């Protein structure tokens, strides 16, 4: 897979990155003569090749820092801040990019008179113009990998690299968090090659681009643009005013270009070159003439969706674009349900979602400390407007985002005696509904099993899923059984992490002097029985989890056959109007013989159980009940219980023991 590339100054060489079979990226150099040579060690991950302007060095980023970060949740590691900047000296007789400096000589040079320095600068300016012609663009491949020098720059999460005549410019970011922003947004640093000092040029970077001469840097930050002098201190940046920019467009020509772009992306990146056996050119000829009937972007999305659907593959997505949809009004939600008391002509609070106020995502506004509102209270007014039976409370709750809501509430349906309460609302109640459902299931499993079983729901295989796993798996690790619920799981890519943790086997136990708890080796290993709940809406990486749960022999899968879509997607950026195109590009699941599985088939359950409509209406969950029953049969037949602390060993001879 081609990741990135860079041409040498005169265009005689092309440096590029390819993944090795061990999944480590290596840097190769192609010559105009057609020869391609690997120039870095295949055992290490290297990327972002960049030729120095003088043709003497090939710089790159290398993951070669091995001091791991240790997890706060379990004794495990993560590689963080592990990328450094390196340079290859391209000629056998070439210099080091960072030779030992002589401070005395430097001090003597700094003492030269200003006129001499000025003369040097003028001469250097003239020489610089000659440099491009004088560049010795020669690479001696013999022994090249050994001519490696590490830049005197601390390893970090370095993301990009550029080299000018005077500087190394690179960006760093905080470590990646799933479902949470890092401590800081990307920063651009400049390392001066002469004095070897590093500085932060600009913070909070979204995107950046160099000018052709490498002297200026255009930076996008929070939807605004500024130009920075690479050699400056960042304080003299000049803003760019885009408010007057306008453009004219021909929608039909734009739609045609988007159609061609989508067709090309599928041609070039679809996971199998034979396009699942379909004639992709013929399908273009079938659908392209329909462009004349496309009236707006939604029509185009429909047409493109029909074309890519012909390939009969999952994850074939075309969406977004310039749909010209109006902005939806913001409604301040309270995490409550209202009911109309017709006799009183007033609305009152029917129910309040409990939530969990220790987490912002599950914060329930009316349950916060100091909010004196209860079920049965009447809402007399919202933000100073009286609420009567002929109005809609949600109309009065339309506010600016982030604005508090003032409620006038009373235990009786009258203005007299009403109290004023200031509430911080939420924008969506989805998380509160989710939390209520999960918490109900967890308590139900605990009650039905007499506290022997735990319940873990994983909503997706992304940020939400992994955080819910971390939150609920470890506190229930001492249970004798665990129901792992992945029904309606929307997919993602973290299933290997979860399967690895569920599949850990207890190999031994351990005890501490001042604790009665039985520890395990390895730590945080679940010692009990499991079952997984799957459904028709368990999708993508949820499919893969279901398949691997069975392959790992972790327990039975219960429910219905899963969705059946596992070919992974890539996004190569938006099309011309900002619309999105995802192409199924890599096979996410095959067996040890390389045979494709799950895609278009799904994962059948070991035990088929349907949550029929009547049971659902009645608030029952036959699938969950079956999982509890299956695990409890095993627990009752052969409980998996860790041993208690044994008697202390006696190693002393009899005559040396206490009397």
Dump the DSSP string for 423-452.
E--BS--HHHHHHHHHHHHHHHHHHHTTT-
Assess whether pLDDT exceeds 60 at residue 109: no
Reported as a single tens digit per residue, the pLDDT across 475-502 is 999 999 999 999 999 999 999 999 999 9
Beta bridge partners of 349: 338
Place of tokens 């992974």: 568
Average pLDDT, whole number, for the chain? 92
| CATH architecture entry for 251-319 | 2-Layer Sandwich (3.30)
Which segment of 13-22, 130-139, 275-284 scores lowest on mean pLDDT?
130-139
What secondary structure letter does DSSP report for 333?
A: B
Assess whether pLDDT exceeds 80 at residue 106: no
Highest mean pLDDT among 20-34, 272-286, 586-600: 272-286
Reported as a single tens digit per residue, the pLDDT across 507-536 is 999 999 888 889 999 999 999 999 999 999
Assess whether pLDDT exceeds 60 at residue 4: yes
Q: How far apart are CA 363 and CA 355, in angstroms?
A: 6
Beta bridge partners of 63: 45, 83
SS3 string, 154-223, reads CCECEEEEEECCCEEEEEECCCCCCCCCCCCCCEEEEEECCCCCEEEEECCCCEEEECCCCCEEEEEECC
pLDDT at 394: 96
Confidence of residue 3 (pLDDT cuts 50, 70, 90): low
- Are 356 and 394 within 8 A, CB to CB? no
Reported as a single tens digit per residue, the pLDDT across 367-407 is 999 999 999 999 999 999 999 999 999 999 999 999 999 99
Assess whether pLDDT exceeds 90 at residue 128: no
Q: How far apart are CA 152 and CA 198, in angstroms?
A: 10
Q: Is the CATH number of domain 336-426 3.10.20.30?
A: no
What's the alpha-carbon Rg for the chain, to the nearest Å? 32
Assess whether pLDDT exceeds 90 at residue 1: no
CB neighbours of residue 63 within 10 Å:
17
Q: Going along 246-399, which residue ranges are E strands?
A: 317-319, 336-341, 346-352, 378-382, 385-386
Residue range 620-645: mean pLDDT, rounded? 96
Q: Is 302 helix (H, G, I), strand (E, B) or coil?
A: helix
Confidence of residue 134 (pLDDT cuts 50, 70, 90): confident
Reported as a single tens digit per residue, the pLDDT across 409-433 is 999 999 999 999 999 999 999 999 9
Q: How far apart are CA 350 and CA 335, in angstroms?
A: 11
Assess whether pLDDT exceeds 70 at residue 26: yes
Confidence of residue 114 (pLDDT cuts 50, 70, 90): very low
Percent of the chain with pLDDT over 90: 81
Where b means 16+ CB within 10 Å and e means fewer, 409-420 reads: bbeebeeeebee
CATH 3.30.750.44 positions along the chain are 251-319
pLDDT at 520: 94
Residue range 283-292: mean pLDDT, rounded? 98
Confidence of residue 577 (pLDDT cuts 50, 70, 90): very high
Reported as a single tens digit per residue, the pLDDT across 327-342 is 889 999 999 999 999 9
What secondary structure letter does DSSP report for 328?
A: P
Reported as a single tens digit per residue, the pLDDT across 228-279 is 999 888 888 999 988 888 889 999 999 999 999 999 999 999 999 999 999 9
CATH 2.30.42.10 positions along the chain are 336-426
Task: Give the residue with greater pLDDT, 337 vs 137.
Answer: 337
What spatial distance separates the first Cα and last Cα of the chain, rounded to whole Å?
A: 75
Task: Give the residue with greater pLDDT, 630 vs 595.
Answer: 630
Q: How far apart are CA 572 and CA 354, in angstroms?
A: 42
Task: Give the residue with greater pLDDT, 115 vs 545.
Answer: 545
Assess whether pLDDT exceeds 90 at residue 116: no
Q: Taking Cα atoms as reference points, which of 224, 250, 223, 246 lies closest to residue 237? A: 224
Q: How far apart are CA 459 and CA 25, in angstroms?
A: 33
Confidence of residue 589 (pLDDT cuts 50, 70, 90): confident
Assess whether pLDDT exceeds 80 at residue 117: no
pLDDT at 241: 87
CATH superfamily of 449-565+600-637: 2-enoyl-CoA Hydratase; Chain A, domain 1 (3.90.226.10)
Q: Going along 376-489, which residue ranges are E strands?
A: 378-382, 385-386, 405-410, 419-423, 453-457, 481-485
Q: Taking Cα atoms as reference points, which of 407, 414, 399, 400 lies closest to residue 352? A: 407
Question: Could you check whether the bond before residue 93 is cis, i.e. omega within 30 degrees of 0?
Answer: no
Highest mean pLDDT among 26-30, 99-103, 107-111, 181-185: 26-30
Strand order in the sheet with 317-319: 317-319, 580-587, 567-571
Confidence of residue 107 (pLDDT cuts 50, 70, 90): very low
User: In which element (H, E) is residue 568 found?
Assistant: strand 567-571
pLDDT at 120: 53
Which segment of 208-212, 256-260, 290-294, 465-469 scores lowest on mean pLDDT?
208-212
Q: Which fold has domain 2-240?
A: Methylamine Dehydrogenase; Chain H (2.130.10)
């Amino acid at each position: 897979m081609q990741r990135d590339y860079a041409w040498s100054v005169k265009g005689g060489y092309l440096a590029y990155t390819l993944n090795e079979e061990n999944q480590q990226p290596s840097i190769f150099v192609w010559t105009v003569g057609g020869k391609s040579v690997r120039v870095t060690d295949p055992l290490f991950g290297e990327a972002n090749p960049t030729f120095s302007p003088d043709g003497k060095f090939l710089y790159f980023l290398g993951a070669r820092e091995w001091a791991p970060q240790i997890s706060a949740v379990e004794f495990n590691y993560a590689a963080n801040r592990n990328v450094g900047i390196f340079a290859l000296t391209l000629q056998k007789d070439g210099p080091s990019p960072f030779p030992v400096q002589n401070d005395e000589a430097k001090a003597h040079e700094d003492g030269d008179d200003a006129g001499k320095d000025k003369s040097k600068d003028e001469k250097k300016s003239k020489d610089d113009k000659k440099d491009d012609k004088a560049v010795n663009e020669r690479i001696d491949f013999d022994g090249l990998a050994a001519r490696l020098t590490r830049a005197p720059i601390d390893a970090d999460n370095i993301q990009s690299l550029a080299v000018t005549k005077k500087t190394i410019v690179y960006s760093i970011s905080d470590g990646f968090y799933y479902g949470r922003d890092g401590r800081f947004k990307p920063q651009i640093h400049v390392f001066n090659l002469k004095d070897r000092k590093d500085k932060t040029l600009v913070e909070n970077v979204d995107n950046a681009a160099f000018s052709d001469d490498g002297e200026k840097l255009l930076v996008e930050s929070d939807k605004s643009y500024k130009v920075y002098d690479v050699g400056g201190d960042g304080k003299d940046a000049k803003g760019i005013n885009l408010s007057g920019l306008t453009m004219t467009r021909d929608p039909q020509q734009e739609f045609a270009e988007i159609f061609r772009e989508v067709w090309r992306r599928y041609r070039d990146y679809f996971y199998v070159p034979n396009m699942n056996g379909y004639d992709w050119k013929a399908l273009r000829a079938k659908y392209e003439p329909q462009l004349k009937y496309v009236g707006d972007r939604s029509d185009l999305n429909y047409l493109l969706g029909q074309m890519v659907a012909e390939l009969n593959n999952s994850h074939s997505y075309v969406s977004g674009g310039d749909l010209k949809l109006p902005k939806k009004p913001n409604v301040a939600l309270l995490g409550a349900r209202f009911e109309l008391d017709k006799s009183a002509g007033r609305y009152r609070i029917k129910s309040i979602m409990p939530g969990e106020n220790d987490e912002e995502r599950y914060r329930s506004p009316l349950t916060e400390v100091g909010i004196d509102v209860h079920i049965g209270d009447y809402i007399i007014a919202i933000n100073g407007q009286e609420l009567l039976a002929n109005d809609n409370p949600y109309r009065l709750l339309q506010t600016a985002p982030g604005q508090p809501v003032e409620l006038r509430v009373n235990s009786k349906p009258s203005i007299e005696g009403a109290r004023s309460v200031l509430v911080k609302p939420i924008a969506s109640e989805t998380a509160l509904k989710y939390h209520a459902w999960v918490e109900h299931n967890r308590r139900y499993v605990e009650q039905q099993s007499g506290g022997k079983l735990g319940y873990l729901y994983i909503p997706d295989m992304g940020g939400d899923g992994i955080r819910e796993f971390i939150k609920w798996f470890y506190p229930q690790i001492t249970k004798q059984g665990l129901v792992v619920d992945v029904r309606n799981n929307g997919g993602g890519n973290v299933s290997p992490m979860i399967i690895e943790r569920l599949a850990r086997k207890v190999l031994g136990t351990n005890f501490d002097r001042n604790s009665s708890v039985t520890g395990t080796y390895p730590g945080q290993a679940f010692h009990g029985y499991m079952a997984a709940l799957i459904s028709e809406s368990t999708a993508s990486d949820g499919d893969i989890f279901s398949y691997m749960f069975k392959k790992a022999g972790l327990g039975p899968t219960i429910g219905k056959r899963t969705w059946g879509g596992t070919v992974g997607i890539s996004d190569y950026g938006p099309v011309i109007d900002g619309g999105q195109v995802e192409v199924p590009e890599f096979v996410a699941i095959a067996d040890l013989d390389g045979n494709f599985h799950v895609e278009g088939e799904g994962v059948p359950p070991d035990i088929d159980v349907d949550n029929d409509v009547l049971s659902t209406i009645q608030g029952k969950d036959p699938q969950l009940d079956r999982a509890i029953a299956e695990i409890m049969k095993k627990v009752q037949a052969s409980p998996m219980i860790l041993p208690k602390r044994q008697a202390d060993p006696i190693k002393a001879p009899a005559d040396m023991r206490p009397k």
